[in-house]
Amino acid sequence: MLSIFRSIPTHMDYKGQKLAEQIFQGIILVSAIIGFIFGYITEQFAWTVYIVMAGFALSCLLTLPPWPMYRRNPLKWLPVQDSGTEEKKPADRKPKRHSKS
């Protein structure tokens, strides 16, 4: 059972995060405007709240799961370098000299 959940990709690249944020903000903004106008016309504040909540639910459905459209630009990591990764001993380090002011 756990192998099924581990096979689901959970990452999103940086451009995907930006796209998800733009979609989220756009849906929230549009639903708020539509909700305000509809609530004003019907003189029911509850309709405004319902429409904004529906927009929030839709935006969550579209942006929270890591859909494939958010994983189109994977990062290209640098290869691991073996040289230069050894830790220097404290005796090998040069003491820092502070300039006198």
pLDDT tens across the length of the chain (101 residues): 778 878 877 888 899 999 999 999 999 999 999 999 999 999 999 999 999 999 999 999 999 988 889 989 888 888 888 875 556 555 566 667 777 66
Q: Provide Rg for the chain, Cα atoms.
A: 26
Q: Residue ranges of the domains in the chain?
A: 14-70
Residue 71 in contact with residue 13, Cβ under 8 Å? yes
Taking Cα atoms as reference points, which of 28, 31, 23, 30 lies closest to residue 47?
31
Q: What is the pTM of this model?
A: 0.68
Non-local CB neighbours of 48 within 8 Å, separated by 6+ positions: 35, 36, 38, 39, 40
